[in-house]
């Protein structure tokens, strides 16, 4: 479904988030299409909250609690505007009076899923929506994998709240680890022995998250972001 986008600006990733190292530059998209009133470069630390589209009640509640905690501390909540965990995180950050960024796997003038069209419009008006795909691009399944990589690049840390062994959120988890960015896994998932991926990611450096406040320890302060931003 097509939606009006308002003014679209084009940025390099470095212009949006600040200096990149050689590995980050290698995986950065060529350009980003951005709409929304959040200032550029982004004004605060950013954490991605991601997970299953068909989330459990406990998973949704955890996503809301994490998003609210981060929003209260002026952390920008990043997610992918999918159903389930993503939607819960975006809405909780907004309700808490914080800021959120939606990173799309489609061009900016498309709403996917359709059920989130009003949420996408709200984020466009008051926050920020980002896509690496130009208007007119035909969306393919692999675009959502590329979106997850970009979301990992935009975020100072990523948090997987709930995900099956086949969840697309795992792409972002591995990308965060590849980039050397902190990756957190919510404790109830780390201890779910029906899943194989949490143990593998922990072996490569993922951190079990028991309290949302723990994320703050790895995020740069707003003052530090302003200091390093050109």
Segment 12-22 shows an average pLDDT of 95
The Cα 111–Cα 104 span in angstroms is 9
The per-residue pLDDT for 1 is 61
Which strand ranges, in their side-by-side order, compose the sheet holding 128-131?
9-11, 32-35, 128-131, 100-103, 76-79, 46-51, 157-162, 183-186, 207-209
Q: Identify each DSSP E strand in 41-182 by its residue range.
A: 46-51, 76-79, 100-103, 128-131, 157-162
223 pLDDT band, cuts 50/70/90, is very low
pLDDT of residue 228: 42
* 105 close to 138: Cβ distance less than 8 angstroms: no
Domains and their CATH numbers in the chain: 9-218 (3.40.50.450)
Does the structure show a pLDDT above 60 at 135? yes
Query: Which DSSP letter does residue 110 get?
Result: B
pLDDT at 4: 78
pLDDT for residue 120 is more than 60: yes
The predicted structure's pLDDT at residue 172: 96
- Number of H helices and E strands in the chain, helices first, is 10, 9
Tell me the percentage of the chain whose pLDDT exceeds 70.
Answer: 95
CB 35 within 8 A of CB 6: yes
59 half-sphere exposure, CB direction, 13 A CA radius: 23
The tokens 């350009």 sit on which residue?
31
Per-residue pLDDT of 25-70, as tens digits, reads 999 999 999 999 999 999 889 999 999 999 999 999 999 999 999 9
The pLDDT tens digits for 170-222 are: 999 999 999 999 999 999 999 898 999 999 999 999 999 999 999 999 998 65
Predicted confidence at residue 28, as pLDDT, reads 96
Q: What is the overall mean pLDDT for the chain?
A: 93
Q: Is 136 left (phi over 0), alpha (psi -120 to 50) or beta?
A: left
What is the model's pLDDT at position 49?
98
Which residue from 67, 11, 12, 13 is spatially nearest to 35, judged by alpha carbons? 11
User: Within 10 Å of residue 171's Cβ, how many Cβ atoms?
Assistant: 18
Taking only the tens place, the pLDDT of each residue in 60-83 is: 999 999 999 999 999 999 999 999
Strands 183-186 and 76-79: unpaired
Return the pLDDT at 225: 41
**Strand 9-11 versus strand 32-35 pairing type:** antiparallel
- Find out whether 221 and 199 touch, Cβ atoms under 8 Å: no
């Amino acid at each position: 479904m097509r939606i009006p986008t308002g003014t679209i600006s084009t940025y390099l990733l470095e212009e949006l988030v600040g200096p990149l190292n050689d590995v980050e530059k290698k995986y950065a998209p060529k350009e980003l299409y951005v709409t929304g009133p959040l200032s550029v470069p982004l004004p605060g630390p950013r954490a991605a909250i991601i997970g299953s589209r068909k989330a459990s009640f406990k998973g949704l509640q955890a996503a809301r609690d994490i998003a609210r905690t981060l929003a209260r501390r002026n952390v920008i909540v990043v997610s992918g505007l999918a159903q389930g965990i993503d939607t819960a995180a975006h809405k909780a950050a907004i309700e808490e009076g914080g800021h959120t960024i939606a990173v799309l796997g489609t061009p900016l003038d498309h709403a996917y899923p359709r059920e989130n069209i009003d949420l996408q419009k709200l984020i466009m008006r008051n926050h920020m929506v980002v896509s690496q795909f130009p208007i007119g691009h035909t969306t393919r399944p692999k675009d959502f994998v590329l979106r997850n990589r970009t979301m990992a690049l935009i975020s100072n840390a990523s948090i997987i709240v709930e995900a099956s062994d086949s969840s697309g959120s795992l792409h972002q988890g591995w990308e965060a680890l590849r980039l050397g960015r902190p990756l957190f896994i919510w404790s109830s998932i780390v201890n779910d022995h029906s899943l194989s991926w949490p143990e593998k990611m922990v072996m490569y450096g993922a951190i079990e998250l028991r309290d949302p406040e723990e994320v703050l320890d790895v995020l740069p302060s707003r003052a530090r972001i302003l200091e390093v931003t050109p």
